[in-house]
Amino acid sequence: MMKERLLLKSETVPVIPNHVRFEFNEVRKEWVLLAPERALYPDKIAIEVLKKCDGKISIQLIGEDLAKKYKAPVEKIIEDIINMLQDLADKGFLKEC
């Protein structure tokens, strides 16, 4: 069976798969997303989003959290999160729980 592209929606519960590591490098003092032959440095907002991709909460809830924190419209935040995470999902750096 061929695998299918994961299309993120607001109810998707995203999780970082086992073979990808999202961690704080103590020597460099920066967050990094480590994947096969890739190292990505997420920006401040992306770091907050990725910290919440723990396989427990949906994109909807992540968005609501951030909307409260930044006093921004929920729909817009969710749209931004989906765009950002879809790109990671397409590279295989994010899964659905």
**What residues line the site for other proteins (CB under 8 A)?**
2-7, 18-19, 21, 23, 25-28, 32, 34, 36-37, 39, 89-92
Nearest approach in angstroms of CB 19 to other proteins is 5
Nearest approach in angstroms of CB 68 to other proteins is 31
Nearest approach in angstroms of CB 28 to other proteins is 4
- Judged by beta carbon, residue 6 or residue 57, the one nearer other proteins is 6
DSSP 6-51: PPP-TT--EE--TT-EEEEETTTTEEEEEETTEEE---HHHHHHHH
d(CA 38, CA 19): 12
Answer for the pair 80, 59: CB distance below 8 angstroms, yes or no.
Answer: no
- Judged by beta carbon, residue 3 or residue 44, the one nearer other proteins is 3
- Judged by beta carbon, residue 4 or residue 11, the one nearer other proteins is 4
Q: How far is CA 67 from the centre of its chain?
A: 16
